[in-house]
Structure 1
Amino acid sequence: MLLKHFWGIRNGFLLICTLGLLAACDQQDKTSQTPAAPPPSVTVAPIVSKQISTSLEYVGRTRANQQVELRARVTGFLLERPFKEGSDVNRGQLLYQIDPAEFEAAKKVATAGVERAQATLVDANKTLERSRTLAARGTVSQAKLDESTAAAAQAQADLAAAQADLTAAELNLGYTTITAPISGRIGATTVDAGNLVGPDAGVLATILDLNPIEVEFAISERQMLDYQQRKATGEARSFEPKLRLANDTMLETPGELYFIDNQVDPVTGTIKLRVRFPNAEGLVLPGQFVNVLLVSSEPRDEVVVPQAAVQTSQAGAFVLTVDADNQVTAKPVELGERSGRDIVVKQGVAVGEMLIVEGVQKVRPGAKVSPTVITPVGSDS
């Protein structure tokens, strides 16, 4: 009885195993019949070339075309300060008015001194004439004539000194009115009406001429030598300066190179250059960091790709292309300068190759893709 029960359990176990294997085989058959997933869709465009102007880019700093610090040249109480801080002022515009009463009185005193000296000179000259007449008759000694001559000369010198005092008084009176020596934008004032100002008060305010705006930057002595040698042989290309601002926008109007320093900085091995850019709207302010681009005026044909299509790895920059079999290939590239939304490729790809411009995150090298061709890259940049 026990043996019969054992064989019953054994046969049941074998039956269960057999049914499990059959179910597994059936599931495997169903799985093998599931269709493969379609290749990922990507957008590709044929690589083209376009006219690119070669450029060199340098970091520079803006500076005012002119800068004037306003200072008081005489001491007195400030009566008025009629300008608005941060506003544009015109040359000759009143900016500060110091109380002129004391200096007007000094001018009157100096004027009286001139009149007194003139009267003394007239009297001394008449006395000298009489002395000369009497000396000719022998009724006046030579010593008396010499005294009259000296007195006339002294009176002439006193008049010159009095006139100098009057000139100084007039200058000091003029210094009580401080006007704008240049047109430009005035900054914050350090003193308001009612305060005592003078030569020891320091800078009252600063006026900056912002149009044109200047940019100072430096190039290496090697670059300067290369350019000068090419210029001497006629191989140097003409260029125009352009300005890229801190927000990555370009100033529309090109600039003008107007200054090259006459020595090399021994610490940095660089030479200072300055360029001017029109700045009628006052968009660019002194002290900003900007990028100066020296753009060649003779463009050349260059292979370009969208900057968004370029990827980087530890080995460097690369792009993904699709061959005739719709297979993805990673190609290392050597990049050049930027041109709008594109970037120049010096080496690594050729015109006509299909570049993946959208969907790069969905594929990997060696994978099959379903490409959709669009307008050639670089043709509308």
Structure 2
Amino acid sequence: QQINPMYVNFTQSASEALALRRALEQGRLKRAEGEGAVVRVLLEDGTEHPSPGRLLFSDLTVDPTSGQVTLRAEVPNPGAALLPGLYVRVRLEQAKAGNAVLLPQQAVTRAANGDTVMVVAADGKVSPRTIKVGGAQGGQWVVLEGLKAGEQVIVDGFQKIRPNAPVKPVPWKPGAAPVAGAAASAPAAAPAASAPASAAKS
């Protein structure tokens, strides 16, 4: 039985595939360059297989019972780390969002009528802003519309802030415990980070 390269079968929801197609058609995302989508395999212990693979094909039909589309990737397997029957997770990089920014997930308020963040203006006043989130990457949201790189966004403490209220934000540190005393009431802000974010399937 051939194990190098190894063929990896996995599924993607039809709704994700449709959302990706719409984003590509509207120009919000650009198709990945090269010979096709890059496939990264995560083993059962959470480590990433050292050799990325490539997407071979996507099925043309949707499974009516699960709403999933089957995909197949070819992954180099020189060390035989991948074995037939092994369960793995797949990260599929199908498109790139060149103008997207990354934002800590806790800074975004998600609701049925849209996603919003609290932005600090140059005059130190806070205002809500509607954004468009494209997906998650490494514990952060990929923001496709509504923010520019470098804008300050309130990450902690925004629940207590009213629109147009003046604030003196302090830099936000991921994983930091709240500061004791008076400083605990100061909202923590982080600049929106520009990055070539990938639209990924985990």
Flag whether TM exceeds 0.5 (same fold): yes
Q: Name the CA shift for 1:358/1:379 in 2 (closer, same or farther; >3 Å).
A: farther
Structure number with bigger Rg = 1
How far apart are 1:335 and its partner, in Å? 0.4
> What do residues 73-130 of structure 1 show as CA deviations (whole Å, max 9, x unaligned)?
xxxxxxxxxxxxxxxxxxxxxxxxxxxxxxxxxxxxxxxxxxxxxxxxxxxxxxxxxx
Distance 2:103 2:193 in 1: 6
* Alignment partner of 1:264 out of 45, 58, 61: 61
Distance 2:83 2:89 in 1: 10
1:286 correspondence with 2:97:
no
CA RMSD of aligned residues (A): 4.3
* Alignment partner of 1:315 out of 90, 107, 113: 113
**Aligned positions, number:** 163
1:340 correspondence with 2:138:
yes
After TM superposition, the structure 1 = structure 2 runs for residues 16-95 of structure 1, keeping only pairs within 5 Å, are: 66=1
How far apart are 1:353 and its partner, in Å? 2.7
Distance 2:74 2:193 in 1: 32
Q: Which runs of 5+ in 2 are unaligned?
A: 173-189, 198-202
Q: Would the aligned equivalents of 1:210 and 1:282 in 2 still touch at CA under 8 Å?
A: no
- Provide the residue aligned with 1:216 in structure 2: 10
AA aligned opposite 1:337: G
Q: Would the aligned equivalents of 2:102 and 2:194 in 1 still touch at CA under 8 Å?
A: no
AA aligned opposite 2:117: V
Q: Would the aligned equivalents of 1:322 and 1:356 in 2 still touch at CA under 8 Å?
A: yes
1:327 correspondence with 2:121:
no
Distance 2:46 2:110 in 1: 22
How far apart are 1:336 and its partner, in Å? 0.8
Distance 2:153 2:166 in 1: 14
> What do residues 310-348 of structure 1 show as CA deviations (whole Å, max 9, x unaligned)?
222453321111123322222221101333343222222
Q: Name the CA shift for 1:287/1:331 in 2 (closer, same or farther; >3 Å).
A: same
Distance 1:314 1:299 in 2: 24
How far apart are 1:272 and its partner, in Å? 3.4
Q: Name the CA shift for 1:218/1:359 in 2 (closer, same or farther; >3 Å).
A: closer
Q: Which has the higher contact order (CA 8 A, sep 6+)?
A: 1
* Alignment partner of 2:52 out of 251, 254, 274: 254
Distance 1:246 1:363 in 2: 43
Distance 1:252 1:216 in 2: 19
> What do residues 247-277 of structure 1 show as CA deviations (whole Å, max 9, x unaligned)?
876544311334555x636746875331133
Q: Would the aligned equivalents of 2:6 and 2:82 in 1 still touch at CA under 8 Å?
A: no
> What do residues 230-250 of structure 1 show as CA deviations (whole Å, max 9, x unaligned)?
9xxxx9654322335678765
Q: Would the aligned equivalents of 2:11 and 2:68 in 1 still touch at CA under 8 Å?
A: no
Q: Would the aligned equivalents of 2:149 and 2:193 in 1 still touch at CA under 8 Å?
A: no
After TM superposition, the structure 1 = structure 2 runs for residues 96-115 of structure 1, keeping only pairs within 5 Å, are: none
> What do residues 39-89 of structure 1 show as CA deviations (whole Å, max 9, x unaligned)?
xxxxxxxxxxxxxxxxxxxxxxxxxxx4xxxxxxxxxxxxxxxxxxxxxxx
Distance 2:126 2:52 in 1: 43
Q: Would the aligned equivalents of 1:322 and 1:354 in 2 still touch at CA under 8 Å?
A: yes
- Provide the residue aligned with 2:193 in structure 1: 378
- Provide the residue aligned with 2:73 in structure 1: 275
The structure in which a higher percent of residues are helix is 1
Q: Would the aligned equivalents of 2:12 and 2:71 in 1 still touch at CA under 8 Å?
A: yes
AA aligned opposite 2:193: G
Distance 2:90 2:61 in 1: 21
- State the TM-score, normalizing by the size of structure 2: 0.55
AA aligned opposite 1:294: E
1:357 correspondence with 2:172:
no
- State the TM-score, normalizing by the size of structure 1: 0.33
- Provide the residue aligned with 2:181 in structure 1: none
